Amino acid sequence: MRPHHPTPEFPAHLSRLYTSFPFERSLADDPISTIRPLSTDLRRAEVAGVFGSTLAIGNTTAIRGAIERLVALADGDVALLVDPAWSKERRKALRSFRHRWIRGDQLDHLARTLSDYYAEHDSLERAFLQGWERGGFDQGLDTLSRALRGRGRSPPGYRALFPSPLEPSGSPCKRLTLFVRWMVRPGYPDLGYWNHVPTGALKVPLDQHVHWIAYHLGLTARRTRSWATVEEVSEALRRIDPIDPVRYDFVLCHTGISGDCPKERDLSVCGPCSVRPDCLLWRGRGAVA
C-alpha cells in the first residue's frame, strides 16, 4: 500500500475541528478535570500531575476514579503525599491501593522519591531542564524519568512506570509526555506552571486514540506506538503549528474517546467531520454508509 498523506487542505480542516470542538464536554471525561482543582500552586500541580499521569492507564472513568481515591487518602490535599511527617500514615493508607497493575507500594515509593527530591529542589522542571539543555526534549524526558525512578531499591515493577525515550525499548512514554504537556502548555486545558520549555518543543502523548487517528490522517505510516511514531506525529503537527503543535492532542484524543470518530466508515457520524476528506477510510471513496 502506498503511504497515505493528508490533503493540502488538512491544516485548515484540522483548524476547523479544533475551533468547533466541545472542550467542556470532553474536559469532564479527561483526567485533567480531576487534576486542575488540585493544582493551586506549583508543588501541588506537580504532585497531582505526576500521580495523575502515572495512573493514566485504562479508560478515563477508571483513571479519574483512581486519582480521586488517592486524593481522598490524603484528605484532599495532594501536598500531604510528599510530606515526610506523613510517611507512616501514607504507607498504611496506600497498602491496599490498586489501579490496574499499579500497586500502593509503588505509589508510596513514588511519594518518598518526590519527598526526597523536593528536599533539594524546588521543582521537577529543574530535572527536565538538566536534560533539555544537553539534548532537547528526549534528553529532558530521560532525566525526568531518572529523577522519578529515584535512588536505591524500588518495589517490583516500579521503574517500568517511568520509561525513557532513550532506552532500546522505544516506549512512546505516553504518561510522562502527558505530564510534561500539562506542566508546560499555558493554553486550556493545561496548567502551564513551567516557564522555561517552549511549547513548540513538546511532543505528543501518543495514546491508542491519537495513534489510530494520526495513522488514518497520514500523520504517521507506523502501525505501532513507539517513540519513533511519537516523533513522526509530533513533527507533522509542528509543521502545522510550530509554536504550539500539541494543542491538537486533546482534540484528537477525545475525538476518539467520545465516539466522534467511530473508527469505521459511518456516514451518519463521519459526515460532518472536518477531517473526513483527509481520512484513509474515506479518501477516494464514495460517501456511502
Concatenate the DSSP letters of all residues of 147-210 into one string.
HHH-SS---TTSGGGS--TTSTT----HHHHHHHHHHH--STTS-----SS-GGG------HHH
Distance CA 208, CA 136 (A): 25
**Hey, where are the domains in the chain?**
1-27+199-284, 30-197
What's the distance, Cα to Cα, between the start and end of the chain in Å? Answer: 24
Distance CA 39, CA 43 (A): 8
CA dihedral of residues 131, 133, 136, 142 (deg, nearest 10):
0
Domain 1-27+199-284 has CATH 2.60.40: no
C-beta separation of 141 from 164 below 8 A: yes
Q: For the whole prediction, is pTM greater than 0.85?
A: yes
pLDDT at position 284 is: 66
pLDDT profile of the chain (289 residues), mean per 10:
80 97 94 96 98 96 97 96 96 96 98 98 97 96 98 95 96 98 96 97 97 96 97 97 97 95 93 94 63
